[in-house]
Amino acid sequence: MTAAAETMLSIGEVSALTGLTTHTLRFYEQEGLFVEAVRRNAAGRRVFTEQEVGWLRVCAKLRSSGMPLPDIRRYAELVRKGAGTETARFDILRRHEARVQQQVADLQEALNVIQAKVALYADHDHLAAGSADTLWRDGPACTPARQVP
């Protein structure tokens, strides 16, 4: 840690850098998603560092892939606690990784169904308008979803 001055960023700048609205950034602070308490300047305004921008970008990726806020908060808490919490953090990430992979697989499956239908309609364009009535229900076998009784 040298004496180099850290770049100080306003909430608006951070918003521009992360794509998160200022509203969302305040909301995230409230939700405890930041690793360190957000600092304020003399006027009481939030001041961010580039490190925080980096973290927020990670957060954005986690969120966009469906990690719930409570999980991100927990991850942030572990980071705050520092050394000794690596395994727990690892766990959170691994679990989320599995979820995302499942999501991708599910989407791929849906994509198969959709693309098969698209192909049917595309074919139909080259044909007479006789078979059209059944296109909507044709397609690859859609497995009945698992029951959660």
Neighbours of 65 (CB within 10 A): 13
List, in sequence order, the alpha helices (H) in the chain.
11-18, 22-30, 50-64, 69-81, 86-125
Asked if 139 is part of the footprint of a copy of itself (rule: CB under 8 A), the reply reads: yes
Q: Which of residues 32-71 bind DNA (CB under 7 A)?
A: 40, 42-46, 63, 68-70
Q: Which does 12 bind (CB under 5 to 8 A by kind): a copy of itself, DNA, none?
A: DNA
Residue 144 binds which entry of a copy of itself, DNA, none, CB below 5-8 Å type-dependent? a copy of itself
Q: Which is nearer to DNA, 15 or 78 (CB)?
A: 15
11 binds DNA (CB under 7 A): yes
Residues in Cβ contact with 7 at an 8 Å cutoff, skipping those fewer than 6 apart = 49, 50
Cβ neighbours of 112 (radius 10 Å): 13
Q: Please, what is the minimum distance in Å from the beta carbon of residue 18 to DNA?
A: 11
